[in-house]
Structure 1
Amino acid sequence: MELENNTQISKFLLLEFSEESELQPLIFAIFLSMYLITLFGNLLIILLVSSDSHLHTPMYFFLSNLSFVDVCFTSTTIPKMLWNIQTHSKVITYEACIYFFLLFVQLDDFLLTVMSYDRYVAICHPLHYTVIMNARLCALLILVSWMIGALNSLLQTLLALRLSFCTVLEIPHFFCEFKEVIQLACSDTFLNKTMMYFAVGLLGGGPFAGICYSYSRIVSSIHRISSAQGKYKAFSTCASHLSVVSLFYCTVLGVYFTPAVTQNSHSSVTASVMYTVVTPMLNPFIYSLRNKDIKRALRKFFRMATILEPIVLRQKKC
């Protein structure tokens, strides 16, 4: 196969889910619906947290940041796929292919870890919670997450720029899955794969180990609670977060640590859909369905909207 210098590569071709033209409208409708639900749910969480003073706590501060990252995360993949279906195009530019996807998936990883630490402090050190989880520490944790995510994404992208690619640049995905992009290279990818697995192990496995440690301490503390009601209340504050963590990590680790020889493209795409589309879509529902604070803020928001609507209409008539 003829090799091309990486500086000449400007486009990749996304093979999407199916080559059958009759299935494209169905795929478009499904993913457009999922994207709109993701936008509405996560933006509503951000609006509720910012507008309700009772939600101005570290837990909801981190949740609103997770919602923002989830909106950005899905916006790096789904809109381009929908556009390609509508225009019957499969092209995505090289520059748009890697950096932002890696950045937001890394931020999701870090924010889930930060949220587990917040739950650990709240349950294991409740009397010192407000002192430990002060505004300065919360802002610092978010800032450090963004810095590490941006630096890792930049490093991985710069390493990918040194590669030479074959003339056929077809990615068997609906977005630029980084592992698939590396496998398309015709030049030596040893350094890229080493750094990729090192980053997944360190920046993915490290936070995951931190989450496991936090929950081991949380479970130990819950066992020491004497009343059944107290145990249920403590566990219910963690159940939503634990559900999201399980869904996110199981699919991400499945994609990146399954050997290429045993991983078919269909299973890889399915796993990728779970952590890039399904998890961000479900997050607002998982965190709000059993959360009394969010439900109360939601009722207050809609009650206020109902009160303000007639006032706004009267002002327009005047």
Structure 2
Amino acid sequence: MTSLNLTGIHHLTAVSADIRENKRFYTQDLGMRLVKRSVNQDDVSAYHLFYADAVGTPGTDLTFFDWPVPRERRGNHTVTRTALRVRDAASLSYWHERLAALKVPHGEIIERDGRATLDFEDHEGQRLALVEDGGAGDAPVPWDASPVPAEHQIRGLGPITMTVPNLRNTDLVLQRVMNLRPVRQYPDPESPAHTVHVYEMGDGGPHAELHVAVRPDLPPAHPGAGGVHHVAFRTPTEEQYHAWTEHFRHFGLQTSGEVDRYYFRSLYFREPNGILYEIATDGPGFGVDEDMTTLGEKVILPPRFEARREQIVAGLKPID
């Protein structure tokens, strides 16, 4: 059982109630590539948009469900900040100027947990941060058509911060079930009397960290636009993916069972504070059903939905 190890953050999925502006913000302001324009496979009335590097490298995907819901009410029991990695101090300075020029709500460049960090929010209050990673993690593929110069483009996800009222049972699952390692702590930037606990997976580094803020003083969050639906962790092979299924069964933990998302294989479960986790395979990837040069330009449906294409596409709102 102990040989199973996750290698990093795979993707993070959030919620938008303004998907047209969402596409504009993430592709034009943040310069990420829309690598898959698809639908929520459990609710085909909603888009599922994937923003990433040029080819959708695992670990670079920030994705959104398109649901007409009110704004999230902030609190605990949820993911509370999604960090996006950039290479160095020059990139952070570039982004500080860029966000100011675009009138994107943002803070100042500060040091947090030993790394230079720049907090900001999208138009729906999605809490984001840019973090200097010094070149850690898999090398992303720059997108030639991005409005952001290649050297300053977003390199991927991580670390991800979640907030819980009580650490004990979450810690048990992270360490004993998921084989994450507790490595350090730091004061919560929003409430320094409280602590953020850092866990790492794989070889470590910002792309392979989960930060757990313990905030019993907060009410439970209420899901909504500007909030996070789930966070996914990388498993490198189909063999390990199947082994995780047996691993959870061994611990008596309830999961979704194995789910084929066509672009990767998924396994979902909730950690003890109710936050939805996913374990996802690195492959087969986004090039399995369209040319890499035209990723994201048209609605792509997994094969099982193709017979309903006309009906499904008619129910989607235009976003270009």
Bin of the TM-score, shorter chain as denominator length: under 0.3
- Normalising by structure 1, we get a TM-score of 0.22
Alignment TM-score, normalising by the size of structure 2: 0.22
Q: Which protein is richer in helix relative to its size?
A: 1
